[in-house]
Amino acid sequence: MRVNCPGTSHVFRMQPPRLGAIVGASRFQVDWSGPRRGGHLKGKWLKTMALTDIAIRNAKPRAKPYKMGDTHGLFLLVQPTGGKLWRLKYRVNGKEKKLAIGTYPEVGLGDARRRRDEARELMAAGRDPSREKQREKVNAQVRAENTFAAITKEYCEKRKRDGNKAWAASTATRSEHLLSLLIVPLGQMPIADIQPADVLAAVRKIERKGKLESARRALQLAGAVFRYGVATARITSDPTRDLRGALTAPTVTHYGALLEPKRVGELLRAIDDYDGQPIPKLAMQLAPHVFVRPGELRHADWADIDLEGALWTIPAAKTKMRKDHRVPLSRQALAKLQTLHALTGPNGFVFPSIRTKSRPISDNTINAGLRRMGYASDEMTAHGFRAMASTLLNESGKWNPDAIERALAHGDTDKVRAAYHRGAHWNERVAMAQWWSDYLDQLRDGAKSA
């Protein structure tokens, strides 16, 4: 820069200081002191005023891009096309970098300064604002892709192939249906953005329809989806954990079951007198002898039954506990199965649907037969045959409770103990199966006790 000394012909060249960032337009203030000759030249670099909205609005494009400096590295880059871009000039490890922080007027002067200050705070913490911006961009994209619907689908697929804990087909169908009730209000929301109030509003819609148990179960499943999201690093916490007690608790109802020997005998006689289709009738006749879960009974396959060995092995994929379950077959159970073999064997389902052999009887077939015989749902159900066997076998006092539990395929959390029981009680279970069938025959024939 050239500076003329007043009253003289002297010209001085002044080099402006090196600035680490654009700090606005600068000027050199010159003060002359002393006489016109022999005086002293004093000067210093001064920063001009920071940018103003008026100055920005009045800035006109030029042939080449030019900068309008603000403070602390913030400047506005005015393009020949008229665009005005906010940039922040800074250094990291001695290397000069620039950060784009928006366009004017979408980002006003105040917002630009706020973003500049946020970037400076990151730098003070040893972090690179450009790198943090890129990371946030990636995270935003991930959040947009990780919707509740997407994570729900992923979770359900995992549960279907989850080894020994995999959902049974019926459980998968029921769970996916309940979760589908939440997809409309929550499905397209990024899972990371969902708050407890969002989930509560969704399940309350189910609750208002009077489906209290469905609402409770849907909330539980939603919690499982969110916990899966935590485990896979999509979110940091489960929003349903704060919703305990928010829903109306449904009245607990137990499966209807006949537990008095006399009533059991009446039921067995009613089944023998049933005039419905032969396959549902045989299913109801076999059910009390084997007392397996209703879904296991209706999905029975001839490939799993050894008539000669008097053994029915239910594969793990069909059991609730996801473990093979062996059922010893009494003479009475074998007789029913041999009758069935002539009707539906030797391949496929033991109890095929009346419409097609490719599907088993429906899950309501046995219950419908019981209703037709006059038993209400709070009196007797397909599941009630299990409660009947459990109660009367335990009351007999003849059998080890652990053997009864194994016969019912109830889980044992102690794996060593469970393995021991599988072997130790097998002979007892075989004897118990025959005793139980003989006892049922006595009750059917009118005896009140064995």
**410 tagged catalytic:** yes
Contacting residues for 347 by C-beta, under 8 A, at least 6 apart: 302, 303
Catalytic residue, from 62, 209, 359, 420: name it.
420
CA distances from residue 50 to 67, 99, 410 in whole angstroms, order as listed: 13, 19, 77
Residues 290 and 312: beta-carbon distance below 8 Å? yes
Catalytic residue, from 87, 89, 298, 386: name it.
386
Catalytic residue, from 320, 323, 371, 398: name it.
320
Phi-psi region of 348 (alpha: psi -120 to 50; beta: other; left: phi over 0): left
**72 tagged catalytic:** no
Catalytic residue, from 293, 298, 336, 406: name it.
293
Catalytic residue, from 87, 299, 318, 383: name it.
383
CA distances from residue 211 to 216, 219, 251, 377 in whole angstroms, order as listed: 9, 12, 11, 18
Tell me the torsion sign for CA atoms 302, 307, 309, 311.
positive
**420 tagged catalytic:** yes
Rounded distance between C-alpha atoms, residue 384 and residue 300, angstroms: 19
Residues 401 and 394: beta-carbon distance below 8 Å? yes
Q: Of 46, 44, 47, 49, whose CA–CA distance to 14 is shortest?
A: 44
Element (H, E) at 221: helix 212-231
Catalytic residue, from 137, 410, 417, 448: name it.
410
**158 tagged catalytic:** no
Rounded distance between C-alpha atoms, residue 196 and residue 239, angstroms: 5
Tell me which residues are annotated as active site. Answer: 293, 320, 383, 386, 410, 420
